[in-house]
Amino acid sequence: MAFRRTAQDPTFYELFTASARQLVEGAAQLTALLGAEGEEREAILARMHEIEGAADDATHAIVRKVGGAFVTPFDRSDIHALAVALDQCVDLMEAAVDLIVLYQVDEVLPRVAKQVEVISRMADLTVDAMPQLRSMKEMGDYGVEIARLENRANKQYRRMLAELFNAKKADPLTVMKHKDIIDALEATANGFEQVALTVEAIAVRES
């Protein structure tokens, strides 16, 4: 475990919070995309690329801070793992947006909206949890709630797969497009769970 002073550098928590805000921004674009058409979709995709770039910048800022810090609030490898996990969530959301736009899918599966609602809630919980890293005891039910939402997302994913594959006279190309999209959304939900598991692992080591 890294040596720590009693007074911790608050910059790390601010950087993690800034990184997590990109999750909320990304979820907002994903939500907006569901009701968008034509040029509006292209604008949303462009904005999503900007958010992904901002998330990369936030990750690099955390890594640079770790490299230049004599004292860290918790283990350097844990800081790096959490930064990467947050960034990965944005990457996964970007992939989902990318697929919907590039595949020119006019209407996503009905349950996709519910899946996006789950992802948006996960993003809100995650950004709220980042300032609580200062005191792991204040995390509350963050991990439990993320796990509950991830289980809900898994169930919805399986139902969407079943509906997709059981549809009569389904066009194989259309099936493939929709499966790629719902796979990306499922991966995003799993990504949020990985963030929560990383936080929980840090809490255990720091207790």
The series of mean pLDDT values per 10 residues for the chain, 207 residues long, is 45 90 97 90 96 94 83 84 95 96 90 96 95 77 94 96 89 93 97 95 80
Q: How far apart are CA 145 and CA 103, in angstroms?
A: 33
Q: What is the pLDDT of residue 138?
A: 67
Domain boundaries, the chain: 11-206
Residue 21: name the closest of 131, 115, 97, 100 by CA: 131
Q: What is the pLDDT of residue 160?
A: 95
Q: Hey, what CATH topology would domain 11-206 get?
A: Methane Monooxygenase Hydroxylase; Chain G, domain 1 (1.20.58)
- Which residues contact residue 70 at a Cβ distance below 8 angstroms, ignoring those fewer than 6 apart? none
Q: How far apart are CA 147 and CA 169, in angstroms?
A: 36
Residues 68/74/76/80 CA torsion (nearest 10 deg): -100
If one counts every other C-beta atom within 10 angstroms of the C-beta of residue 106, the result is 7
Coil, helix or strand at residue 98: helix
Q: What is the pLDDT of residue 10?
A: 61
Q: How far apart are CA 49 and CA 184, in angstroms?
A: 16
Q: What is the pLDDT of residue 6?
A: 37
Q: How far apart are CA 39 and CA 177, in angstroms?
A: 20
Long-range residue pairs from 138-142, CB within 8 A, at least 24 positions apart, any chain: 139/199, 139/203, 142/196, 142/199
Q: How far apart are CA 115 and CA 186, in angstroms?
A: 8
